[in-house]
Structure 1
Amino acid sequence: MHKPILFLLLVHIILTLVPGATAKVSAIIVFGDSSVDSGNNNQLSTLLKSNFQPYGRDFYGGKPTGRFCNGRIPPDFISEAFGLKPAVPAYLDPMYNISDFVDGVNFASAGTGYDSATSDVLSVIPFMRELEYYKEYQSKLKAHVGDEKAKEITSEALYLLSLGTNDFLENYYTMPDRRSQFTVDKYQDYLSGIAGKFIKELYELGARKISLGGLPPMGCLPLERTADFFRGQGGECNENYNRVALNFNSKLSGLVKNLNQELSGIKVVLSNPYNILKQIVHKPSLYGFEVAGIACCSSGLFEMSYMCDRLNPFTCTDADKYVFWDSFHPSQKTNKIVSDYVIKNALHVFL
């Protein structure tokens, strides 16, 4: 057996069999939108919140934390898979302080996007403001553990970025301004340029392990399928939106390649949920689901945030039977499947 193969096999055995063995990732640091927000929007004056029941009913203690899900979200599962905490806390949550953020912190804000105009739609945290919070976190971390230890933590941390859907569905296709300025292809270039700038700034701040999240098949979200139904288009996935997602993911793939070539010592991967989520939607029974076209929460048509009402008799009793929790967000079970997929197909390089 060749030595490199033997070494990788031994590493795998150690990580799998030895109790307490962990990979070389010091912390999980999260940026993005509602796909990964663990409660930062709770502290904002915005309608886009989920800190009430039935959100969180399958989370630890049945607690609604501000996660847009019935339970855990991808950063939680990823953190646990890397031997860290099973739930990554929100930076703005007053229940936590810097000692809670040493091995994981979440800066994401539901409703945000790469484009600052997207965050303006629902008055949430702009993407670049999340970076300012990270700088603030770095200062607090240095004061807490010392400069050398803080540098070690931030350089060995895994940075997760997940956003972009709102730029298209809540901004480009809903508001007129960006459509008057950009074709959809040029808008994708504009967004990928912002993504590249953000990662380069993270790099300058010491980040070396970065996961850039691709778009899901956004035309298959219950909200879009319902909208198409009322437009007389049958209620199937909006394949035009799906093509936009695929094209944008292709641009992000090119960005990842360029960044890895340009920035010494960095490792950027594209964590792309598109294929696995579309397969789940089209063949839900293969994954133990019964319903993919509508969501668990209320009627499963347009409900999200305050429209997801725990008192509504249409809210399902078992979210594990549903691919989607509300009209925009996957259920905890789906999040687990997608997280396992991206760990196996992208994040494994950091194990």
Structure 2
Amino acid sequence: MSPIGRMGKGYALWLLFIIEIIILVHFTTCKVPAIIVFGDSSVDSGNNNFIPTMARSNFEPYGRDFFNGNPTGRFSNGRIPPDFISEAFGIKEAVPPYLDPAYSISDFATGVCFASAGTGYDNATAHVADVIPLWKEVEYYKEYQQKLRAHLGEEKANEIISEALYLVSIGTNDFLENYYALTERRCEFPSVEQYEDFLIGLAENFFKEIYWLGARKISLTGLPPMGCLPLERAENILEFHNCVERYNNLALEFNGKLGWLVSKLNKDLPGFQMVDANAYDIFLQIVTDPSRFGFEEATTACCGTGRFEMGFLCNPKFTCQDANKYVFWDAFHPSQKTSQIVSNYLVEKYLSKFL
């Protein structure tokens, strides 16, 4: 080999060594070495791009305010809560989707997203739009653990798994896209309270499963004031497009049951640190008093008419100029600015204990 070739090879090995040192320093100095995400479109960073579903957003105008204006598959004009929370913990500015082949296990070692837009606690919810059910997200997580151990070794991988902060945001689709939109679950559970209890049982099983897989630090975000989503307000004609109070009351009731579950699991599972990171109140404050937070519009969204459009219906030609003026980006999802405000609130009020 020529002297230049040996120098090039030596440089490459040196660079690889430096990268590994940086990774190890990060893991040993950070209280939270990684952000790991489960859930639905509120936290999906693009997994649905890689499955055969219509529930995706990897096209314009989505992502126009993301880095380089890249439509990543996030249901937002830019970043979403896990990205801001990851940044707040000094880890990285964006949490990558597990199914994206552009990323490797070295990227996922400091944060990974298993979430899928359109999914829920209930497997039947995932079937509505043919997306990834929650049990499959867990299977991907198991696969991730194997890759992480092969990459960093058993001891270091186990440390990341146990010290990582797990963000879980899920549940809205179970009610709006499944229970109220279709008939099967309503026949099986005549009252919505029965369906809530069914979901709580599924949630408990999920958290126990990831606990036994090594998860210890969990942030659970319950339901937002879903009656105030532009899509629900648009359909609320008889009440002059006000928030649908029965949906908001349902969210409050279900969140109360999630809070009970958090207390139960913290008591039952040794070493479990689960936080009820309830975003309902801050989200409702933003919707009811938008000007206080620097918004001009909270009843309709930036995309299209702002009442019904999301996904493929969001036409770049009929989208507002400045999404920062809008609480909602599309008829179902908050704008990047809203996500940042909510994330900052959650970090300060609930997640600072992990910093």
| Structure 2 CA distance for aligned equivalents of residues 81 and 32 of structure 1 | 20
| Structure 2 CA distance for aligned equivalents of residues 276 and 26 of structure 1 | 27
Q: In the alignment, which of 33, 45, 48 is matched to residue 40 of structure 2?
A: 33
* 1:218 and 2:226 are equivalent in the alignment: yes
| Structure 2 CA distance for aligned equivalents of residues 287 and 203 of structure 1 | 37
Aligned equivalent of 1:337: 341
CA-based RMSD of the aligned residues comes to 1.2
Q: In the alignment, which of 61, 64, 73 is matched to residue 57 of structure 1?
A: 64
Tell me the CA shift for residue 298 of structure 1: 1.1
Alignment of 1:1-351 (within 5 A): 23-182=30-189, 183-229=191-237, 232-312=238-318, 315-351=319-355
Q: Which blocks of at least 5 consecutive residues in structure 1 are unaligned?
A: 1-20
**Cα-to-partner distance string for 1:77-131 (whole Å, 9 max, x where unaligned):** 0000001011000000111111110000000000000000000000000011100
**Cα-to-partner distance string for 1:11-53 (whole Å, 9 max, x where unaligned):** xxxxxxxxxx975101000000000000000001111110000
Equivalent pairs counted in the alignment come to 328
| Structure 1 CA distance for aligned equivalents of residues 285 and 57 of structure 2 | 27
Q: Secondary structure at the match of 2:316?
A: coil
Aligned equivalent of 2:17: none
Q: Which amino acid aligns with 1:83?
A: G
**Cα-to-partner distance string for 1:182-238 (whole Å, 9 max, x where unaligned):** 111111111111111111111101111001111000000000000112xx2210000
CA distance change for structure 1 residues 281 and 309 in 2, over 3 Å: closer, same or farther? same
Q: Secondary structure at the match of 1:212?
A: strand
Q: Which amino acid aligns with 2:49?
A: N
Q: Which blocks of at least 5 consecutive residues in structure 2 are unaligned?
A: 1-27
| Structure 2 CA distance for aligned equivalents of residues 68 and 117 of structure 1 | 22
| Structure 2 CA distance for aligned equivalents of residues 126 and 42 of structure 1 | 15
Q: Which amino acid aligns with 1:273?
A: A
TM, length-normalised to structure 2: 0.91
Aligned equivalent of 2:3: none
**Cα-to-partner distance string for 1:290-340 (whole Å, 9 max, x where unaligned):** 00000001111111100111122xx10000000000000000000000001
Alignment check: 8 A CA contact 1:23 1:350 kept: no
Q: Which amino acid aligns with 2:325?
A: K
**Cα-to-partner distance string for 1:241-260 (whole Å, 9 max, x where unaligned):** 00000000000000000000
Show structure 1 runs of 4+ deviating over 4 A: none
Alignment check: 8 A CA contact 1:217 1:245 kept: yes
Q: Secondary structure at the match of 2:194?
A: helix
Tell me the CA shift for residue 344 of structure 1: 1.4
Q: Which amino acid aligns with 1:46?
A: T
Q: Which amino acid aligns with 2:281?
A: N
Identity of aligned residues (%): 64
| Structure 2 CA distance for aligned equivalents of residues 109 and 245 of structure 1 | 21
Aligned equivalent of 1:15: none
| Structure 2 CA distance for aligned equivalents of residues 104 and 124 of structure 1 | 22
Q: Which amino acid aligns with 1:337?
A: I
CA distance change for structure 1 residues 65 and 32 in 2, over 3 Å: closer, same or farther? same
Q: Which amino acid aligns with 1:203?
A: Y
Aligned equivalent of 2:23: none
Alignment check: 8 A CA contact 1:158 1:211 kept: yes
Q: Which amino acid aligns with 2:217?
A: K
| Structure 2 CA distance for aligned equivalents of residues 161 and 292 of structure 1 | 25
